[in-house]
């Protein structure tokens, strides 16, 4: 993405824009505006041409008089509705990742794996054009969906973002020089397998953050980080979000909440040859062996697979959205 290229996320709706439509019962639908196309529901037809040219946050009426609120999606809306190859990191966790990993403008960040590109979008926004994001992904079909999703939202392929295919343990040393990385974010099944190469790439004081789904993974990666002797003692967190219903004097928690989605564990890289002072703790039953760890975290964790047919469909959807978004910005130029 060139320095003089500005992605317009405000102003009147244009062809190629993604628009979030909210119906009378609060149902959300996200469409990509194309001249001559229609949005069909069981309650009528809404022409795309009726939306193109309107200001953001306008109310439009379909052919039978049903009103819809038209809004340009925020990033939090986009990542929840975009095509998915792999499961995404939810916005509540992405926000905590940006905070706990201290992602800053101009940072050099390593991300593995890229999944569907949701976290990549948050990281790219945080590091800005002066930063560098190096993403790593083992599966090419996931990287294709991620590239298309990022291009759809940004309107172009960011020049400060690369995706490298292959295992992080093999490709990171070939891609990033030693002590050149400010932050590393690992979203993978077995992050403990990559701690050594990550330690080489991180600058002293740099932050390692792992996102894992289960308690067993959390335990194993924490002990792997401690065993290297290269990090501060890891901190572990999970985030739960509960909404509130507020209407007049009816103020109460929502009946549903976003509970556990994953654990975040962070640690900072020590300077070479630094020995961390031992923490004084109360005696506890924490002795364990390598065999105990393997029983606690079996090697066959399993990976949720997506059929080839479904992946092809999702990839087509993502690439179509990217093409329309890029064409929008070329037309505007």
Assess whether 123 and 223 both reside in one domain.
Answer: yes
pLDDT in tens, 60-106: 999 999 999 999 999 999 999 898 888 889 999 999 999 999 999 99
Q: Which residue's structure tokens are 């991300």?
A: 111
Q: Find the mean pLDDT for residues 106-129.
A: 96
Is residue 233, in this structure, part of any structural domain at all?
A: yes
What is the residue range of 27's domain? 13-73
pLDDT in tens, 254-274: 999 989 999 999 999 999 999
Confidence class for position 321, pLDDT limits 50, 70, 90: confident
Question: Can the peptide bond before residue 234 be classed as cis, meaning omega within 30 degrees of 0?
Answer: no
Is residue 196, in this structure, part of any structural domain at all?
A: yes
What tokens were used for 18?
């993604």
Assess whether 29 and 154 both reside in one domain.
Answer: no
Confidence class for position 293, pLDDT limits 50, 70, 90: low
Q: Which residue's structure tokens are 């505006």?
A: 33
Q: Domain holding 222: CATH number?
A: 3.40.50.150
Poorest-confidence range of 175-184, 189-198, 286-295? 286-295
Average per-residue pLDDT for the chain: 89
Are 257 and 242 a contacting pair, CB within 8 Å? yes
pLDDT at residue 4, as a whole number: 36
Q: Find the mean pLDDT for residues 194-217.
A: 97
pLDDT in tens, 2-33: 443 445 578 899 998 999 999 999 899 999 99
pLDDT at residue 333 is higher than 60:
no
Residues 6+ apart with CB under 8 A from 172: 110, 112, 136, 194, 197, 198, 201
Per-range mean pLDDT, top range of 10-24, 120-134, 288-302: 120-134
Question: Can the peptide bond before residue 326 be classed as cis, meaning omega within 30 degrees of 0?
Answer: no
Considering its fold, how many domains does the chain have in total? 2
Assess whether 96 and 196 both reside in one domain.
Answer: yes
């Amino acid at each position: 993405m060139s320095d003089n290229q500005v992605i317009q996320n405000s102003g009147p709706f244009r062809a190629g824009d993604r628009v979030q439509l909210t119906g009378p019962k609060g149902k959300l639908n996200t469409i990509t505006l194309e001249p001559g196309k229609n949005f069909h529901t069981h309650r009528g037809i809404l022409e795309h041409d009726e939306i193109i040219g309107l200001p953001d946050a306008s109310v439009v009426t379909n052919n039978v008089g049903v009103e819809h609120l038209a809004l340009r999606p925020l990033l939090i809306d986009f990542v929840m509705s975009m095509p998915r190859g792999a499961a995404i990191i939810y916005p509540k966790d992405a926000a905590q990742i940006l905070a706990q990993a201290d992602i800053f403008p101009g940072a050099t960040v390593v991300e593995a794996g890229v999944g569907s590109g949701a976290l990549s979008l948050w990281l790219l926004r945080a590091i800005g054009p002066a930063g560098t994001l190096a993403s790593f992904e083992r599966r090419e079909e996931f990287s294709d969906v991620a590239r298309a999703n990022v291009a759809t939202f940004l309107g172009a392929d960011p020049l400060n973002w690369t995706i490298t295919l292959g295992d992080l343990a093999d490709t990171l040393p070939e891609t990033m020089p030693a002590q050149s990385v400010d932050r590393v974010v690992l979203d993978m099944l077995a992050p403990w397998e990559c701690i050594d190469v990550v330690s080489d790439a991180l600058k002293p004081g740099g932050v390692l953050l792992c996102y894992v789904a289960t308690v067993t993974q959390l335990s194993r990666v924490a002990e792997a980080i401690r065993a290297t002797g290269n990090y501060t003692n890891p901190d572990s967190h999970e985030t739960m979000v509960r909404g509130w219903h507020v209407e007049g004097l009816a103020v109460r928690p929502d009946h549903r909440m976003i509970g556990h989605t994953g654990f975040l564990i962070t640690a900072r890289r020590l300077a070479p040859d630094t020995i961390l002072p031992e923490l004084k703790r109360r005696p506890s039953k924490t002795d364990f062996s390598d065999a105990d760890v393997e029983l606690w975290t079996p090697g066959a964790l399993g990976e949720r697979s997506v059929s080839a047919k479904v992946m092809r469909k999702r990839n087509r959807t993502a690439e179509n959205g990217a093409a329309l978004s890029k064409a929008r910005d070329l037309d505007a130029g």
